[in-house]
Structure 1
């Protein structure tokens, strides 16, 4: 198993996502009344949820929610076999 890393650095998170063709997203139906993202995720193209299930949001809105929810980004750079990993999880900073 490959090691995981936790960060709150916006540039690191954005670079990790962009290297994997991932965009900030929220599951449809979880948005706040003011239109801001509800549950946060990344839409890694070619993996995971159907595009109909996710709504893409801009990075500013994503990071605003990330900070207000006091989250950290747990991720892997590589799988155990050396391939690029798309594993990530949003966790509490506490």
Structure 2
């Protein structure tokens, strides 16, 4: 699946992908009231800057509230492990968005 992009709303798949890369759930400081704000993943060796670590429960609660989907790659074109991901609105997923996980063009 080198270079292929997938999209999912499956919490287990998202957490597996992140943990395989050593990433932890995070939120941008100052962007939320009464809970986490803008969601991110914090990878090892990157500056946390304005990010604060949150737990997976808080991450997925916000993920569902905002009706997000996780767009990602497992591998780059040359076969290396990819860190590429985006959190997108589910409405942007398009046809077939009722599936929990699928490959996108």
User: What TM-score do the two structures reach when normalised by structure 2?
Assistant: 0.81
Unaligned runs of 5+ in 2: 92-105
Deviation at residue 91 of structure 1 after TM alignment: 0.4
Deviation at residue 52 of structure 1 after TM alignment: 3.3
Aligned length: 90
Q: Deviations over 1:58-91 (max 9, x none)?
A: 1001000000100000000001111000000000
Bigger Rg, which one: 2
Q: Deviations over 1:22-77 (max 9, x none)?
A: 00001122132x1x111001001124xx2232100010010000001000000000
Structure 1 segments, 4+ long, off by >3 Å, are none
Distance in 2 separating the partners of 1:12 and 1:18: 10
C-alpha RMSD over aligned residues: 1.2
Unaligned runs of 5+ in 1: none
1:42-53 correspondence runs (5 A): 42-47=41-46, 50-53=47-50
Residue from 68, 74, 92 that aligns with 2:71: 74
Residue from 57, 60, 79 that aligns with 1:60: 57
Task: Identify the residue that residue 37 of structure 1 maps to in structure 2.
Answer: 36
1:84 aligns with 2:87: no
1:1-12 correspondence runs (5 A): 2-12=3-13
